Amino acid sequence: KAVRYANKKSSVNDDLKEMLESNKDSLKLDAMKRIIALIAKGKNASELFPAVVKNVASKNIELKKLVYVYLVRYAEEQQDLALLSISTFQRALKDPNQLIRASALRVLSSIRVPIIVPIMMLAIKEAASDMSPYVRKTSAHAIQKLYSLDPDQKEHLIEVIDKLLKDKSTLVAGSVVMAFEEVCPDRIDLIHKNYRKLCNLLVDVEEWGQVVIISMLTRYARTQFTSPWKENERHFDENSETAFYESDEKKTKNGDENKSYVMDPDHRLLLRNTKPLLQSRNTAVVVSVAQLYWHLAPKHEVGVITKSLVRLLRSHREVQYVVLQNIATMSIQRKGMFEPYMKSFYVRSTDATHIKSLKLEILTSLANEANISTILREFQTYVKSQDKQFAAGTIQAIGRCATNISEVTDTCLQGLVLLLSNRDETVVAESVVVIKKLLQTQPTQHSDIIKHMAKLFDNIAVPMARASILWLMGEYCERVPQIAPDVLRKMAKSFTSEEDIVKLQTVNLAAKLYLTNSKQTKLLTQYILNLGKYDQNYDIRDRTRFIRQLIVPNEKSGALGKYARRILLAPKPAPVLESTYKDRDRYQLGTLSHTINTKASGYLELSDWPAVAPDQSVRNVEVIEPVRINLLLPVPAHHPGPTPRVAMSSSEAESDEEKSSSQSSEESDKSSSQSEKSSSESDSEQKTKKPQKKTVKDRYHTIMKYSTCTVAVKYVGTLVRFTILVLRAVTRFCPEEVPVSLSLFSLCILTPCPLSCAALLLQVSGPAFVPEKSHDLLHRMTGKGLSAQYQFPRQPCLYQPTMVSVQISLTNTSDHPLEQIHIGDRSPTGLNMHCFNTIECLLPEASVTVSLGVDFNDSTQAANFQLCTKEDQFSVSIQPAVGELFLPVTMTEQDFHKEQGKLSYAVNSPQKYPNHYLAQSDRTLADQSRVATVANLGVVPSGQDNIHRFAGKTASSGAVVLVTVELRGESTALITINTEKSVMGPMLLRDLKRALAQA
């Protein structure tokens, strides 16, 4: 069988090698898909490394992506072969496709060979300055890999981390903070300037990034802010009215006045920005926010986390276990937080044993005089459980309740005595152990219980229970003088067949009875000591010899025999029944160390609150006001227009211009003459040479002079008018000719197109409103158990900027797993769509959310395609509303009017509001929310209360769309839409009128 399997495996590998060595990209692509599928199933595909690495330089983008995925998996194992392709990876770092650049860096950092550390360091530094946030995110991931390979690079890596921490992209934030935590978690000074930015970006960061950032900010806050907890409220009582209403000016015993606590604004910023994340669908995020509030928030505000933590108890067992551990720790210090949700901690029959134990722990911690009767009734049911371990834990919980609440001690003891007659040996044994601990608290009042346990001694077989009864007999032998010797007599008969723990307690009982009642037990004691002297267990032999020398006086016993009674019959302190989670709060909640109750590798302890708050000015970020420079670029000879000029709109720039007018005029003359020469030369060359497709460098031959007021730009192409924001610091540089950095000025690549180029320069902003409404894509009846719904998340598509992002939720409502869910044929034929990866298996009642990218080509025409499983194909379609085809943009009111004057198409229509709509003062927010609901547009600031403006551009072509809503009177508004595409306006106007007409 093994030979047959080996032959089959070798034949499969041979087929894949042949496909990889063929000349057809389709065969290579199919082979790589099969190889990646093998890796996903956990099978070893390292034998194919030589054949795969040959295709690393393929021009097929899809094939190259799959090759890089394979190399990331096996580069560390096949280092020698991977090193041969390093030059290819270095070239790929310059690839126009961001996914290829990121994949190349990922592979390069996966080759763990010290010799290429300088190459990796250089690649990381370049990627950290990449225009794509996805590549910058990958560079942050590579930092951790390089640091683990060569820790000596720490200082250089810290420089890159410092640079990436200043990045404003939410895609990068989580990854760079993770790199910070791995490389230099003690460098708090790097966080100062970025603290407020991280707090504000937190809501938009991806989920696992949120977890890392929250953990880091928790440690940061414990070092930078003073404690919000009052010293006299170490055990805070949420039900105490005096703690809430007492005056802040109440005098202390020394006559000094308590200083009222004022929370640092940055401390409040962190609490305020993390609070919405309690509604996150990711469990780790909710737990992270909960631990942040537990460690940082004022005690009267911590209650906000309770409901969110209880909500997580409906999740999987693994999630329940971690959440219940955190709740168990919290409930010990603050019972009032979780007492209203006590029923959520009742044990269910379907719970696992470890979940049941944690719920028991919490219920015991929540017990008080008011609810103890309810909890004990619940415990009575648990004792009858078929799970013996859980039943034993319940008896221990009853013992804890009896110890903590004196009012129910007698009731609990009586109930435990009744359990001694139970048929289950485990229940009886645990009851004896707990009764023994309870009797130590009040031994004088419960001699009857000791007698009752002695009567049941013969029926109890569990060693621990027998040993506990013997210990009770010996400890309180004077209170049962007639029963204890009889028990010793029975033990003398069965001594040789007892367990070791029972034998030890028998020896102790014999010694105590010898000291208190030697007349009746002297011979029995000598007999037991003789049996123990020759026992097989050396512990019993040693104990027997020690007891003999201690209690039986002779010449060799020495002075110790005088103190035998004080040694053996000394009063023992009553045991304290405490929760096992009492000391868990020494570890930060939500960490691995807290879960395993041991300091794990890499754990960073929370520091104590500083007595005096450090200087808060270190978090102040200097706001540099930009200088706006309006550039009118030089015009080719065939293009009519005004002469190129440079205009600066800033008071400071004007003053600088007066100081250096002579220098600037000379430089501007030179630059203008150079631009005229270049334009004439380009015209002459165009006449003699054939027109060729121009690259970015050909279209942009740009030179900037960094002087106080001169900027000269050469451009070959159409007339373009745009605005560059330059920092004041840049205008102070010495006048040198350097290329303009497109990333520095946030310029897009301008390409000749019939649309206005201003549309390409508009900066995309975040959505003003994300609709939660989902649309049915496939009904469960039609889909044979497969249900699908889609919605528009209104985020820029990661796969291609011209696509509209679509989120699809797939649910298996059948009773059998669905395999190989994927996208099949699509129509129209030219539809550009980025499909999600094939879902190999979707279990019954399981759901998964996938992302899709669709280029609707600025049309509301439905995208039709087939949603396929292994056995079936279902025709589905996504119908976009016109408002979902836009991306919101940011612009000022002045820029809005300028763009409005350029657009060729405009539609407008008056719209009446419904009766009793809203007061004049409340309409602004209502109108903005209604328009944002209909269309994915950005809000433009308006200086007029009765006019609301919105701006956006189409995702596919970048066509500008401007919307103006002007309020006229109390019940009428004029809607005006300016756009570059005539078909867009009427459709959008119809939807807006319908939205504003709703009551």
Whether the predicted pLDDT of 390 surpasses 80: yes
Cα 884 versus chain centre, distance: 28
Average pLDDT over residues 95-106: 87
Tens digit of each residue's pLDDT (9 = 90 or more) over 967-993: 876 677 888 888 877 667 788 888 887
Question: Quick check: 797 pLDDT over 80?
Answer: yes
Residue with tokens 């980025």: 834
pLDDT of residue 915: 46
pLDDT at 717 (0 to 100): 33
Q: Per the structure block, which two tokens stand in for 364?
A: 């015991």
What pLDDT sits at residue 789? Answer: 92
pLDDT of residue 334: 85
Q: 716 or 149, which is more confident?
A: 149
Of 136-140, 259-263, 537-541, the least confident: 259-263
Most confident residue range from 297-301, 623-627, 642-646, 661-665: 297-301
- Residue 545 pLDDT > 80, yes or no? yes
CA 771 from chain centre, in angstroms, equals: 23
Residue 494's closest CA among 547, 457, 519, 521? 457
Give the model's pLDDT for residue 603.
Answer: 86
Q: What's the pLDDT at 982?
A: 65
- Kindly tell me if the per-residue pLDDT of 253 is higher than 50: no
Distance from C-alpha of 42 to C-alpha of 39, rounded to nearest angstrom? 5
Tokens of 682: 């380009």
> Average of pLDDT values for 243-266?
54
pLDDT value for 239: 41
**11 — pLDDT class (breaks 50, 70, 90):** low
Q: How confident is the model at residue 557 (pLDDT cuts 50, 70, 90)?
A: low
pLDDT at 678: 43
| Poorest-pLDDT segment among 116-130, 368-382, 430-444, 914-928 | 914-928
pLDDT of residue 739: 38
Confidence band of 790 (pLDDT split at 50, 70, 90): very high
**Is the pLDDT at 647 greater than 50, yes or no?**
no
- pLDDT at residue 694, rounded to an integer: 41
What's the CA gap between 180 and 191, in Å, rounded?
10
Q: What is the pLDDT of residues 846-884, one digit of tens each?
A: 888 888 899 888 888 888 898 999 888 999 999 888 888
CB atoms within 10 A of CB 326: 23
Percentage of residues in the chain with pLDDT exceeding 90? 17
For helices 117-128 and 98-110, angle between their N-to-C axes, nearest 10 degrees: 150
Give the residue-averaged pLDDT of 257-263. Answer: 64
Assign 555 a pLDDT band (cuts: 50, 70, 90): low
> What pLDDT was estimated at residue 552?
77
Q: Which of 222-236, 246-260, 900-914 has the highest mean pLDDT?
A: 900-914
pLDDT digits (tens, 9 = 90+) for 43-52: 888 778 788 8
pLDDT at residue 4, rounded to an integer = 55
The reported pLDDT for the residue numbered 10 is: 62
Answer whether 713's CB lies under 8 Å from 704's CB. Answer: yes
Specify the range with the lowest mean pLDDT, choosing from 554-558, 592-596, 675-679. 675-679
Q: How far is the C-alpha of 141 from the C-alpha of 147, rounded, in Å?
A: 10
- Fold type of domain 886-996: TATA-Binding Protein (3.30.310)
| CA–CA dist 992, 999 (Å, integer) | 14
Tokens read off for 936: 């994915």
Encoded tokens for 466? 């027998």
Q: Read off the pLDDT of residues 160-174 as tens digits, 9 standing for 90 and up.
A: 999 999 998 899 999
Residue 319: per-residue pLDDT? 92
Q: Which residues of 232-255 are buried (b: 16+ CB within 10 A; e: fewer)?
A: eeeebeeeeeeeeeeeeeeeeeee
Is the model's pLDDT at 679 over the cut of 60? no
The residue with greater pLDDT, 315 or 443, is: 315
DSSP 8-state code for residue 618: G
Residue 39's pLDDT is what? 85
Say if residue 583's pLDDT is above 90. Answer: no
Give the pLDDT confidence score for residue 271 in this predicted structure: 93
pTM: 0.57
Residue 818 has pLDDT above 60, yes or no: yes
Give mean pLDDT, residues 373-380. 88
pLDDT for residue 62: 83
- The pLDDT mean for the chain works out to 77
- State the helix-helix crossing angle for 353-366 and 388-404, rounded to 10 degrees: 10
What the block records as the tokens of 806 is 């679509």
Quick one: pLDDT at residue 631?
37
Average pLDDT over residues 825-853: 85
Residues 113-128: what's their mean pLDDT?
89
CB 900 within 8 A of CB 978: yes
The residue with tokens 């190459």 is 119
Q: Kindly indicate the confidence band of residue 142, based on its pLDDT and cuts at 50, 70 and 90.
A: very high
What average pLDDT does range 254-281 have in this prediction? 80
pLDDT at 925: 54
The CATH number for 775-880, chosen from 2.40.440.10, 2.60.130.10, 2.60.40.1150, 1.20.120.1200, is 2.60.40.1150
- Mean pLDDT, residues 546-565 taken together: 74
CATH architecture under which domain 11-224 falls: Alpha Horseshoe (1.25)
Lowest mean pLDDT among 171-180, 328-337, 747-756: 747-756
What is the spatial distance between Cα 864 and Cα 746, in angstroms, rounded to a whole number? 37
Check whether 941 has a pLDDT greater than 90.
no
Q: Identify whether the C-beta of residue 908 lies closer than 8 Å to the C-beta of residue 975.
A: yes
Q: What's the confidence (pLDDT) of residue 7?
A: 52
Residue 471 has pLDDT above 90, yes or no: no
Which pLDDT band, with edges at 50, 70 and 90, does 830 fall under? low
pLDDT over 60 (residue 945): yes
Average pLDDT over residues 145-151: 90
What is the per-residue pLDDT for 699? 37
Q: What is the pLDDT of residue 155?
A: 92
Alpha helices in 75-132 (DSSP H): 79-83, 86-92, 98-110, 117-128
Q: What pLDDT was estimated at residue 615?
A: 86
User: Is 663 a residue whose pLDDT tops 60?
Assistant: no
Q: Which of 212-221, 252-261, 450-459, 936-945 has the lowest mean pLDDT?
A: 252-261
What's the rounded mean pLDDT across residues 188-216?
A: 92
C-alpha to C-alpha distance for 727 and 833, rounded to whole angstroms: 40
pLDDT band at 304 (very low <50, low <70, confident <90, very high): very high
Query: 775-778 and 886-890 as β-strands: parallel, antiparallel, unpaired?
Result: unpaired
255 has a pLDDT exceeding 50: no
Find the mean pLDDT for residues 306-320: 91
Kindly report, residue by residue over 327-352, the tens digit of the pLDDT: 999 998 888 889 888 899 999 888 88
Provide the H-helix boundaries in 499-639. 500-516, 518-533, 538-551, 564-568, 592-596
Phi/psi for 959 (5° steps) reads -70, 135
Q: Which residue has the higher pLDDT, 600 or 734?
A: 600
Question: Does 214 score more than 60 pLDDT?
Answer: yes
Q: How many CB atoms sit inside 10 A of residue 754's CB? A: 6
Per residue in 499-543, pLDDT (tens digit) is 899 999 999 988 888 888 888 888 888 898 898 888 889 899 998
Question: 627 pLDDT exceeds 80?
Answer: no
Residues 555-568, mean pLDDT to the nearest whole number: 72
Cβ–Cβ < 8 Å for 759, 722:
no
